[in-house]
Structure 1
């Protein structure tokens, strides 16, 4: 670190949009060799700050200092030239290109004749992945990877730049505990080499473990900053929301003896292996495991996305076999997918069109949509789930992540689903929205709905589940009461499955 100046400094930065003051005289110092946490609820101004430092947009007033000198960051290329690399929450990978090509996109190594040096592209990309302890072939087409693996490729792109400053916006949203720990070890090594890191995350327990300093925003203003991270999660939450919200995991136990769904030795071509379990009425059954363990594949098998090669599903005592998702929906199953943006929402629709999408036959007469029935049904759910009133007028792309997630869940309430499969339901949403989802889970189980909860957040999984099934290599290894398991148990189970870090290079 400079003896007199931080590496980067925001001084009274303000930025307005029509009707919104996104940043209001924000001051932040970013030091070399330090991991700085930028925290706050959705809409607090974090994304605006990130875009300003990344050159995506310009502040209305205030100064940006680099090593004490006032500078302008006119565009993302200027930011890159100044040693800033940004990993945005929204992926910027090209899905049709290989992992190696994506890692060096826009910065391809060249031969002395000016052609792309493909051997060096894959060799250097492989070296970055080795440093990250990630087992992905550099030749793999990126669109074929899981969401979590694509997230790791995004992070690899930033590391490959050898930047002085790295901005990470929700870098672990799609990662499991083992992947998070390896990423944190990497970030600590980079910090110790002098890199400045700006770290944005809604996972406050991991923020407490990884950051050296913290700035908390609320309504566009800095409400708390610390030179040392000696504030607890509860203090962070209170500063973010402006009040003490009490219990983070307000769990209710509503399980009954009645069995609603049975999985009997399910197998699929996508890696589900002899999966068996019972799900009780009003129960939350958690699926725990690392990225790639097969949790999502089990969900896809249950919901008819992937065909069963053997085994059977028994719903309300009757054997069922779903050839597609619509058959599963009609039988009373629902899936809230891991990636709501690509698989869960119609972004050009308002809440009403999204909520009724799975039940159009229920609000149609002679094939014509009954708009009055749609409006009344969706208004009721918007009110009951405390979804923003803006959802009635605006398309869902203008809503916060928490509101978007509640709209996906509202779809299945509208369809009167009996069993809801929630795949990472709190991924990428702030603490207030998370608690709203937890309370919604309680409401659902109180109504007799049954839930299969997939979560990479071990604390969340243990706190909100009645039982937890540990998944490894597409198979359920054991099922335990959540109260009998600890965080260490899940970490140990994850560690047992961790793949070799050998990287394949096909150059």
Structure 2
């Protein structure tokens, strides 16, 4: 654990902030020490975003004090935060994808010559020096949009280093990263910690929080419910503090898999990179797809769902070959896909829950081409109750709902359509622990009812805990399939990275 100075670099004292009808922060106190990684945790809506906005200068608190090196200060706007050495890396990047890495690092603060024009040579030389100091090998002339998500994340952090930030706020920094990229990022953060940088780390991935942070502050309903300081804290304690009760089991897995094969992929290939991929799926089974980011997991899902045309091989459903020309054919056959990016691919944000839930099976609610709105409302209300979705979903459009409620609405759509095979692509990415547990329980409910699930997840602990078997994907091909009970976290990391020559599929014990 990092050694802490006596005086905090930043200190929040009794910070309160209200919005109409909501007390977002209620006398919150946080100490941020130099050379320390501080986790800020809590469920969606607990007040984390409000605290980030306050320290970033985006908004002002209604009451309380902010101390910098022990002295009261006012962070009047984002530029004032930058002047104090505060840099924020938000979950949605602020880079310009069409500009070079060097341009992005110094965007808004370009070095200029004596004549006042941009000194491009200095831009790239200084950017290269920043990246070298971070031990990051990315060409400064590279177009940022061509980089991987992990490399773009490093460019965002390089922007903070370039302004000599003494305090960096990271909002869900690993939400879209694979295991290798996460470890690379964590190594960089540890190096920055050794140099005395204060880091505020916000994440829903509690296993990595346990590994990387020195101390935590946990918020619930706008208030601090736990601050660890020098005391060790584990995932179970974090979860209990966040949700306000002992939830018992972080991964409440049920064993519902049978030996009855309901779906097979036989040597399938697509133009999107899937190659000679085979697997079977049993009734009541959760089949996990593991692999590094970009390994081809999502492309396999798209092939199964009819989004990408097969160029070779065949799909077999309930013993009979099937050919999906498009997604509609797959939906009519009882296959569903909950996409990785629910914001762009999964939801109609200008609709309420009703329009989103019934969209895949409107024919069941229509007579002579006319939608029965009363029947739609009743069906929606039943699913909202059964899945414990916020009742606000009945009246508000889904863009006003939390990430967890949005995710459950996408899953509710496929329950309404009575899909028998559900492909869940990163179903818990970016949602809080309470919503994650709700999704896990929903997976149990699906398999208990005899439905089958293909689970794609970059969270290895989640994949190991919730799957019956795990298929390791490399370069668009499933290389091996083994019972989840026979694999460890380290096994999965190695299997995802090491080349494997022989495909091996094992059924349940």
TM-score, normalised to structure 1's length?
A: 0.92
Which of 386, 399, 402 is the matching residue for 2:401? 399
User: Structure 1 151/427 Cα, relative in aligned 2: closer, same or farther at 3 Å?
Assistant: farther
**Cα distance, 1:242 vs structure 2:** 1.4
Q: For 2:265 and 2:182, locate their aligned partners in 1 and report how far apart those are by CA, in whole Å.
A: 31
Alignment of 1:27-46 (within 5 A): 27-46=29-48
SS at match of 1:362: helix
- 1:379 correspondence with 2:381: yes
Which of 317, 320, 323 is the matching residue for 2:322? 320
- 1:55 correspondence with 2:57: yes
Residue number in structure 2 paired with 1:430: 432
**Cα distance, 1:198 vs structure 2:** 0.2
Residue number in structure 2 paired with 1:350: 352
Q: Deviations over 1:328-371 (max 9, x none)?
A: 22222111111112221122211111111222233233333221
Alignment of 1:142-153 (within 5 A): 151-153=153-155
User: Structure 1 473/369 Cα, relative in aligned 2: closer, same or farther at 3 Å?
Assistant: same
Alignment of 1:150-189 (within 5 A): 151-189=153-191
Residue number in structure 2 paired with 1:448: 450
Alignment of 1:481-496 (within 5 A): 481-496=483-498
SS at match of 1:305: coil
- Contact preservation (8 Å) 1:126, 1:138: yes
Residue number in structure 2 paired with 1:284: 286
Residue number in structure 1 paired with 2:503: none
Q: Which of 363-372 and 17-26 deviates more?
A: 363-372
Q: Deviations over 1:406-452 (max 9, x none)?
A: 01111111111111111111111111111110000000011111111
SS at match of 2:359: coil
User: Structure 1 48/296 Cα, relative in aligned 2: closer, same or farther at 3 Å?
Assistant: same
Residue number in structure 1 paired with 2:304: 302
Q: For 2:332 and 2:441, locate their aligned partners in 1 and report how far apart those are by CA, in whole Å.
A: 26
Q: For 2:138 and 2:206, locate their aligned partners in 1 and report how far apart those are by CA, in whole Å.
A: 28
**Cα distance, 1:116 vs structure 2:** 4.0
- 1:209 correspondence with 2:233: no
Q: Which of 123-132 and 84-93 deviates more?
A: 123-132
Q: Which of 90-99 and 214-223 deviates more?
A: 90-99
Q: How many residues align?
A: 497
Q: For 2:307 and 2:190, locate their aligned partners in 1 and report how far apart those are by CA, in whole Å.
A: 40
Structure 1 residues without counterparts, runs of 5 or longer:
498-507
Structure 2 residues without counterparts, runs of 5 or longer:
500-509
- Contact preservation (8 Å) 1:214, 1:228: no
Q: Which of 69-78 and 454-463 deviates more?
A: 69-78
Structure 1 vs Structure 2 CA RMSD: 2.4
**Cα distance, 1:244 vs structure 2:** 0.7
- Contact preservation (8 Å) 1:267, 1:273: yes
- 1:412 correspondence with 2:419: no
Residue number in structure 2 paired with 1:12: 14
Alignment of 1:73-88 (within 5 A): 73-88=75-90
**Cα distance, 1:150 vs structure 2:** 5.0
TM-score, normalised to structure 2's length?
A: 0.91
User: Structure 1 36/412 Cα, relative in aligned 2: closer, same or farther at 3 Å?
Assistant: same
Q: For 1:313 and 1:133, locate their aligned partners in 2 and report how far apart those are by CA, in whole Å.
A: 46
SS at match of 1:107: coil
User: Structure 1 313/400 Cα, relative in aligned 2: closer, same or farther at 3 Å?
Assistant: same
Q: For 1:225 and 1:37, locate their aligned partners in 2 and report how far apart those are by CA, in whole Å.
A: 10
User: Structure 1 142/322 Cα, relative in aligned 2: closer, same or farther at 3 Å?
Assistant: farther
SS at match of 2:418: coil
Residue number in structure 2 paired with 1:24: 26
**Cα distance, 1:475 vs structure 2:** 1.4
Q: For 1:265 and 1:127, locate their aligned partners in 2 and report how far apart those are by CA, in whole Å.
A: 48
Q: For 1:155 and 1:4, locate their aligned partners in 2 and report how far apart those are by CA, in whole Å.
A: 27
- Contact preservation (8 Å) 1:151, 1:174: no
- 1:90 correspondence with 2:92: yes
Q: Which of 272-281 and 368-377 deviates more?
A: 368-377
Q: Deviations over 1:113-134 (max 9, x none)?
A: 4444555555665666677677
**Cα distance, 1:287 vs structure 2:** 0.6
SS at match of 1:358: helix
Q: For 2:140 and 2:148, locate their aligned partners in 1 and report how far apart those are by CA, in whole Å.
A: 15
- Contact preservation (8 Å) 1:178, 1:495: no
User: Structure 1 266/125 Cα, relative in aligned 2: closer, same or farther at 3 Å?
Assistant: farther
Q: Which of 378-387 and 254-263 deviates more?
A: 254-263
Alignment of 1:173-252 (within 5 A): 173-252=175-254
- Contact preservation (8 Å) 2:4, 2:35: no
**Cα distance, 1:156 vs structure 2:** 4.5
Q: For 2:133 and 2:293, locate their aligned partners in 1 and report how far apart those are by CA, in whole Å.
A: 18
